[in-house]
Amino acid sequence: QKEVEQDPGPLSVPEGAIVSLNCTYSNSAFQYFMWYRQYSRKGPELLMYTYSSGNKEDGRFTAQVDKSSKYISLFIRDSQPSDSATYLCAMRATGGFKTIFGAGTRLFVKA
Amino acid sequence: ETGVTQSPTHLIKTRGQQVTLRCSSQSGHNTVSWYQQALGQGPQFIFQYYREEENGRGNFPPRFSGLQFPNYSSELNVNALELDDSALYLCASSTDSGRAYEQFFGPGTRLTVL
């Protein structure tokens, strides 16, 4: 079993839709939960991070962490064609030296 | 502020050869991590360098090795290349502060092994 599971998609939605992206994990030591966006032929860029459980909002993006269920989510409101990219969840233990990534979900937002 | 840069952009090698990939970290960052990203997969951690010392390694064989220089730039060396080594190699820089989770990635080097 992988430490982090993420549905690779692809996920195709119309412009303006609310997008929900999810990951599950098995390692209870993870305390830092990140979402990266990766455009084609580019390196990942950090979108949001959450420490421990709870919600965090930044503009059209909301990150949620449920440590009791070992489940994290990223919501994108009013999705735009420019949001079309691969979204990677990532996790790290406190004091740990490595970040574990999910496989990434490919998102297409159609105009 | 200069971002993370990597060279070369693309590389084609044959099985059994050796390759060196280079990374310049973001200004003010003293930690560099290297990742391998196969097509359709997420990045897999290879190793991390902090102040010129390897301080963490993932599940990669010893033929993957690295260096970090006093200016915090870094190299990834892969010996005895195998076909499965074909991937995008990413480096990411960060600080040793409380924001160590915040990694800044370069654009990657696309390695093809024939």
Express each pLDDT in A80-94 by its tens digit: 999 999 999 999 998
How large is the average pLDDT for residues A13-18? 97
The confidence score (pLDDT) of residue B1 equals: 55
* Amino acid at site B111: L
Chain B residues whose CB is inside 8 A of the A98 CB are 33, 45, 48, 56, 58
Residue range B1-45, pLDDT digits in tens: 569 999 999 999 999 999 999 999 988 888 999 999 999 999 999
Q: Do A98 and B58 touch (CB under 8 A)?
A: yes
Considering only CB atoms, B43 lies closest to which of A44, A92, A97, namely: A44
Nearest to A13 by CA among A23, A24, A21, A4: A21
Q: What are the phi and psi torsion angles at B84 (to 5°)?
A: -70, -10
SS3 B84: helix
The whole-angstrom separation of Cα B109 and Cα B8 is: 6
Q: Do B101 and A34 touch (CB under 8 A)?
A: yes
More confident residue, B51 or A17: A17
Distances in Å between the Cα of A68 and the Cα atoms of A28, A47, A54, A55 are: 9, 24, 11, 14
Instruction: Count Cβ atoms below 10 Å from residue B60 Cβ, excluding itself.
Output: 15
Q: What does the mean pLDDT of chain A come to?
A: 94
The answer, yes or no, to whether residue A66 has pLDDT greater than 60, is yes
Considering only CB atoms, B42 lies closest to which of A42, A92, A103, namely: A103
The confidence score (pLDDT) of residue B107 equals: 95
The answer, yes or no, to whether residue A95 has pLDDT greater than 90, is no
Residue spans of beta strands (DSSP E) within B3-52: 5-7, 10-13, 19-24, 31-37, 44-50
Residue range B57-114, pLDDT digits in tens: 999 999 999 999 998 899 999 999 999 999 999 999 998 776 778 899 999 999 999 9
